[in-house]
Structure 1
Amino acid sequence: MPKNLGNLDRSLRLIAGLILISLVFIGPQTAWGWVGIIGVLTAAIGYCPLYSLFGFKSCPLKHNS
């Protein structure tokens, strides 16, 4: 599976995911915070299925020399 997430995108997904997961334990304590797992997982593997569906990449292109 090719990576399609750049470093900035991965960092933002990780931070947002952790914030959402923390809402399960503090704050409103609703189950919607578990949606943050998606952000953490996509950040960890560097691949977003929706990006590939729409043909979008945030990672830099590799140039052949």
Structure 2
Amino acid sequence: MKRNVGGIDKAARVVIGAVLILLALTGTIGVWGWIGVLPLATGLLNVCPAYSLLGISTCKVK
């Protein structure tokens, strides 16, 4: 798969995902916090399947 997540988008996904998982672990927001695994994974892997389907890319053009 081609990389389609870059820069600020990547950082935001990692931070938001980590915060959601942390809140789930502490019991603050319950089981729904585990949805944070998705943005964390897409941020770390630099690939978002939804972006691929929609033809969006936040990576800088080489």
1:16 partner SS = helix
Q: Decide which structure has greater helix share.
A: 2
Please report the TM-score for the alignment, with normalisation by the length of structure 1.
Answer: 0.87
Aligned pairs for 1:18-33 within 5 A: 18-26=18-26, 28-33=28-33
Mapped partners of 1:27, 1:19: distance in 2: 12
Query: Which residue number corresponds to residue 14 of structure 2?
Result: 14
Query: Which residue number corresponds to residue 2 of structure 2?
Result: 2
The structure with the largest alpha-carbon Rg is 1
Q: Sequence identity, in percent? A: 37
Query: Which residue number corresponds to residue 36 of structure 1?
Result: 36
Mapped partners of 1:3, 1:25: distance in 2: 30
Matched, 1:61 2:53: no
Structure 2, unmatched stretches of 5+, are none
Whichever residue aligns with residue 36 of structure 1, its letter is G
Q: 1:27 offset after TM fit, Å?
A: 5.1
Structure 1, unmatched stretches of 5+, are none
- How many residues were matched structurally? 62
Mapped partners of 1:33, 1:9: distance in 2: 20
